[in-house]
Amino acid sequence: MYYSIYASPIGDLLLTGDGAALTGVDFLDSVADPLGPRDDGAFGAATAQLRAYFGGELTEFSLDLTTGGTPFQQRVWSALRTIPYGTTTTYGKLATALGNTRATRAVGLANGRNPISIIIPCHRVIGANGSLTGYGGGMERKQWLLAWEGRALPAVGS
């Protein structure tokens, strides 16, 4: 397992990988110390695409990913990748798309365990009433990402 740190406009991102695929993207201030050796060269494609995303030049990531997780979590994370840039959906709509309208809570739990933040866009999922809901990187970052992608939302706490 290797890691690198990418300085994004919303905080340092910890990138992890197994040498063949990206296995994690998380905010550095929300994780324990990275495990394994640092190898910035192993993450050239990921950092280039993150730079293009934050530069407003990329709307869809194309990277080899390894997520682990249960089969259900993998289905949720795959569904998250189909949410178009600049749009949002709800946990209920995701559950319906996965074929189980009663799986809203399970979809929310899987969304919260997404190991590859931003690239698997869990920030694009909001509450059924249009409100911002939890985000592992913090609500301010979720709001920033949605605004960056063109969704004008009320300030956190409004």
Strand stretches in the chain, DSSP E: 2-8, 11-17, 22-27, 89-90, 125-126
Q: In the predicted model, is pLDDT for residue 152 greater than 50? A: no
Q: Which two tokens stand for residue 75?
A: 């289905």
Percentage, residues of the chain above pLDDT 90: 77
Domain that holds residue 22: 2-54
Positions marked catalytic:
122
Domain match, 144 and 98 both: yes
As separate numbers, helices (DSSP H) first and strands (DSSP E) second, the chain gives: 5, 5
The larger pLDDT score, comparing residue 153 to residue 59, is at 59
Q: What domain count does the chain have?
A: 2
Over its C-alpha atoms, the chain yields an Rg (Å, rounded) of: 15
Tens of pLDDT, residues 31-55: 777 678 989 888 999 999 999 999 9
pTM: 0.91
Please report, as a single letter, which amino acid is at residue 86: G
Strand stretches in 1-157, DSSP E: 2-8, 11-17, 22-27, 89-90, 125-126
Ramachandran class of 77: left when φ > 0, alpha when ψ lies in -120 to 50, beta otherwise: alpha
Domain match, 114 and 49 both: no
Question: How does DSSP classify residue 116?
Answer: B
Check which CATH number belongs to the domain holding 46 and give it: 3.30.160.70
Give yes or no for a contact between 122 and 80, defined as CB atoms under 8 angstroms apart: yes
Domain match, 15 and 43 both: yes
Q: In the predicted model, is pLDDT for residue 9 greater than 70? A: yes
Residue in 136, 126, 143 with CA at minimum distance from that of residue 30: 136
